Structure 1
Amino acid sequence: MAVLFIFSVCYCGCEKEQSSILQGILKAGEITVYTRNNAHCYYLYREQATGFEYDLAKAFADHLGVKLKVKIAEKWEGMIPALMKGTGSFIAASLTIMPKRKKWVSFSNGYMPIQQYVIVHRNNRSIRCPEDLAGKTVHIREGTSYEERLNLLKNKGIDLEINLHDDLPTEELIRQVAEGKIEVTIADSNIALLNQRYYPQAVLACPISEQEFLGWAVNRNARNLLYRINCFFKTIKENGKFNEIYNKYYANIDTFDYVDLRAYHRRLKTRLPNYKEIIMEAADYHGFDWRLIAAQMYQESHFNPDAQSHSGAKGLMQLTSPTASSLGVENILNPEQNINAGVQHLKSLYDYFGKAKGLNRLFIALAAYNVGQGHILDAQNIAREMNLDPNKWSSLSITLPLLTYHKYYKKATYGYCRGTQPIEYINKIMIYYDILKRQGIEFKTYAKPNKEKKVDKKIRIAQQMD
């Protein structure tokens, strides 16, 4: 009886402690996340917090009805000790769920599958399987799951050397591979694929692990909090929120084209400077990020002012003759006139689809620029018939491709449409845009153009976007 009494007291005390952690968060109205400052976890863009892990953590805080406080760990290996001290609530930092780590923290259910890959320079054809690492020096950050996996390979008889770097980000090691400074590194598949657009000369050679999963970590005595995290992931995977966040960062990684991206990186230096001032002034006037316009322009013409499509669209922004004429363009191949008219046209489409919000509105406007406003209206009508939100790009991504089928386009006002084309168009623009954001290219800020002193008075500029 005494033993039972002691057990009951301990059990109740444990339950109380577990409950108090979650209750403390709810009472304080704030939850603290530990993460890392990098492209896939958390970073600031235009003074706004962003990043895949950050967006998930923010969604979880909203799910609980509390504010999110972010703590950046100075070193990767410092996150778990800091969590154990109770200075944070959970870790969201692309942590691989590992038995070794489970000795110290509890993990959520896996929310994203990954594999560890060997990363080499594109010209390196000497590594095609883990056994080819024999005699190679592999550079990795200290304290990662990569280190554990490489030691397992060494124990299996693969004579490789591990060079450990103190808290050097995996992205930096990928960059060093791309620049030929080191021969081999290891990266999780999500990190590797995300960085291919920035460092196209670094490629995935072969996997060295089976499928693993990323998870969030909490204190071992925070079972109630862990339960809420698992419920949260289940909910957002069912309602589409997880896919929305995932697609924001990773949807375009499979669109990687080495030859195209190499040309893009080169033309950012050789062609873009010829037009950057015009782009910046036009974009600023209409309220767009100039880098988005530059990305769209590259998709349209590869920064070639004499480009002409099979359909007759011409110039840097690929204007059709009717569109150019309606915007007062006298010389469609004049870069200044073509750019200003193209941005004005995009702005008019952005205004037209004003019922859509945020990125949905931008993507729908870009799609209309690509295939025409009429096809977008048809796709919206199909979305309504399918009980989908016609003002969500995720809905139109489903309905636009249907316009290639006779069953759908025979009833559409504007007929047949190559419905996959605008989806590919937007995916590529967002890749180019993302690269420009990461390039760190900074030009001087231009004031909004004076209406009395326009760059080209023949182009009618719409009012500044709110």
Structure 2
Amino acid sequence: MALAAAGIGIYLLFDQMGIGFKAPLKQIQERGTIRMITANTATSYYTYRDSPMGFEYDLAKAFADHLGVALEVIVPEWNTMFDVLNSGQGDFIAAGITITESRKRIALFSDPYMPVQQKFIHHKLKFGIKNLEQLAGRTIYVRKGSSYQERLKELKASGIDLKIQPLMYVSTEEFIRLVSEKKIKYTIADSNIALLNRRYYPDIKIGLPIQEEEYLGWAVKKTNEGLRDQINQFLEVAEETGILAKLYEKYYGNVKIFNYFELKKFHERIKTRLPEYKKMIKTESEKYGFDWRLIAAMVYQESHFNAKAKSRTGVRGLMQVTQDTARLMGIKNRLDPKQSVKAGVKFFNIMHKRFDDIPDPRQKNRFALAAYNVGYGHVRDAQAIARQQGMDINKWTSLKKALPLLTQRKYYEKTQHGYARGQEPVHYVERIFTYYDILRQKGH
């Protein structure tokens, strides 16, 4: 009944706006589901701990909610997505696809929602290109039927003697991995895909753009103008209400925080150092219901999985526990790995519970991590500053702006806990979530 009521409400709203439903959109309402055609990639759709994720998935789910229907996900072979769409098996394609003239001949596209640019990808030990003419003589691997192949054909037709090696069933992410492992020399990737995958494969180099800026869009059948119009309305609402910004922050917000040597070390140490501490991290994480990968990322940020680590401020061990915290958490030896992890996770849980007023668990994790780093009082002070500036005090995007203001007298002199190096907890949290994402994507 609730779903039907929602559908009637939406119908009346759109009817009042003079839009009306065309047949395919009405069928979606009557069916109670909308069918998303997508790709199983890090940028579009994947499952983690039995939960669906991905920028495109989350945006499509918000669209389904906007229409008052359930979302059904269809994942065909990549090169058959438009066939699946035009055969009526799915309602729209949301797979991070660029809007191109050739694609516009076979489908209707929504308004654009993200700019991207095709980039030349090579191994960091290989020479890149300084101009497009230097593509001559190089063999470039791309997915067959992709916009990359289309662009390379244009360059070849312009007189650049390059060799295109199109493969049918290999994803862009897989080509990036092959470049990283030096199994192929070159590929092309959209900038968003390249930036996201660089953290998983730090040996790649994102090189020269080979195309002007393009845009991503969703596609519907040529005859389905009604659904296209509703997608455009939704994207406008998503822009105005911050849904798009929130999702971009979730999936792409820290992709530009990249230090090759830091990430390279992390990839090495999850093989050489993490196994020694993995069991104890899992045990302590499970006590409090935390994802062990988040705690492992936290341990790495604190000590690089070095049980004897000591900072310039005197904190020590895997979790860089202070003497006061060690006493409060009931441990005697901060250099003992088990005791350190036990104390650190217990203290993190205390911080976590103190933010029970934050409803979103993902936001709550970030606030608790910031408090672990800079102190609970400073985080609350930053929230007070955010409130004064009209920001949502329960969102990390607000706290990222407010915490650094604690270094400025005009702000911190009005707070309860005073000055703090507010940029440090921002970097701390962002790095932890970068490491956390790598651990999830690597299947740990």
Query: Do they superpose with TM above 0.5?
Result: yes
Which of the numbers 411, 415, 422 marks the counterpart of 1:412?
Answer: 415
Aligned-pair distance for 1:395? 2.0
Q: Secondary structure at the match of 2:95?
A: strand
Paired position in structure 1 for 2:236: 234
Q: What whole-Å deviation, never above 9, does each CA across 1:171-212 have from its counterpart, x for those lacking one? A: 111111011110100111111111001111111111100000
Matched, 1:389 2:395: no
Aligned-pair distance for 1:305? 1.2
Which of the numbers 30, 34, 38 marks the counterpart of 2:37?
Answer: 34
Q: Which letter does structure 2 place at the counterpart of 1:240?
A: G
Matches within 5 A, 1:123-272: 123-272=125-274
Of 122-131 and 33-42, the range deviating more from structure 2: 122-131
Paired position in structure 2 for 1:297: 299
Cα distance in 2 between the residues matched to 1:382 and 1:306? 38
Aligned-pair distance for 1:260? 0.5
TM-score (norm 1): 0.89
Cα distance in 1 between the residues matched to 2:28 and 2:141? 40
Cα distance in 1 between the residues matched to 2:304 and 2:131? 37
Matches within 5 A, 1:62-77: 62-73=65-76, 75-77=77-79
Cα distance in 1 between the residues matched to 2:439 and 2:323? 30
Matched, 1:47 2:50: yes
Dislocated runs of 4+, deviation >3 Å: 15-18
Q: What whole-Å deviation, never above 9, does each CA across 1:327-355 have from its counterpart, x for those lacking one? A: 11111111111110000000011011101
Paired position in structure 1 for 2:101: 99
Q: Which letter does structure 2 place at the counterpart of 1:347?
A: N
Which of the numbers 337, 340, 347 marks the counterpart of 1:338?
Answer: 340
Aligned-pair distance for 1:16? 12
Cα distance in 1 between the residues matched to 2:155 and 2:424? 45
Q: Is the 2:79–2:168 contact (alpha carbons within 8 Å) kept by the matching residues of 1?
A: no
User: How much identity, in percent, do the aligned residues show?
Assistant: 49
Q: Secondary structure at the match of 1:210?
A: coil
Q: What whole-Å deviation, never above 9, does each CA across 1:78-111 have from its counterpart, x for those lacking one? A: 1111111112110001111001111110100110
Aligned-pair distance for 1:18? 6.9
Cα distance in 2 between the residues matched to 1:314 and 1:126? 43
Paired position in structure 2 for 1:424: 427
Cα distance in 1 between the residues matched to 2:147 and 2:275? 43
Cα distance in 2 between the residues matched to 1:315 and 1:380? 30
Q: Secondary structure at the match of 1:117?
A: strand
Aligned-pair distance for 1:389? 2.8
Q: Secondary structure at the match of 1:235?
A: helix
Instruction: Extract unaligned runs of 5+ from structure 1.
Output: 1-14, 442-466
Q: Secondary structure at the match of 1:428?
A: helix
Paired position in structure 2 for 1:459: none
Q: Is the 1:379–1:403 contact (alpha carbons within 8 Å) kept by the matching residues of 2?
A: yes
Q: Which letter does structure 2 place at the counterpart of 1:62?
A: D
Instruction: Extract unaligned runs of 5+ from structure 2.
Output: 1-17
Cα distance in 2 between the residues matched to 1:129 and 1:42? 34
Q: Which letter does structure 2 place at the counterpart of 1:120?
A: H
Q: Is the 1:17–1:221 contact (alpha carbons within 8 Å) kept by the matching residues of 2?
A: no
Q: Secondary structure at the match of 1:139?
A: strand
Paired position in structure 1 for 2:288: 286
Aligned-pair distance for 1:383? 2.2
Q: Secondary structure at the match of 2:256?
A: helix
CA RMSD of aligned residues (A): 1.5
Q: Which letter does structure 1 place at the counterpart of 2:216?
A: L
Cα distance in 1 between the residues matched to 2:429 and 2:443? 22
Count the aligned residue pairs.
426
Q: Secondary structure at the match of 1:94?
A: coil
Which has the greater radius of gyration? 1
Aligned-pair distance for 1:130? 1.9
Of 105-114 and 375-384, the range deviating more from structure 2: 375-384
Q: Is the 2:140–2:185 contact (alpha carbons within 8 Å) kept by the matching residues of 1?
A: yes
Of 78-87 and 170-179, the range deviating more from structure 2: 78-87
Matched, 1:372 2:367: no
Cα distance in 2 between the residues matched to 1:40 and 1:353? 30
Cα distance in 2 between the residues matched to 1:224 and 1:135? 47
Q: Is the 1:119–1:174 contact (alpha carbons within 8 Å) kept by the matching residues of 2?
A: yes
Paired position in structure 2 for 1:444: none
Q: Which letter does structure 2 place at the counterpart of 1:385?
A: Q
Aligned-pair distance for 1:440? 1.9
Paired position in structure 1 for 2:118: 116
Q: Secondary structure at the match of 1:307?
A: coil
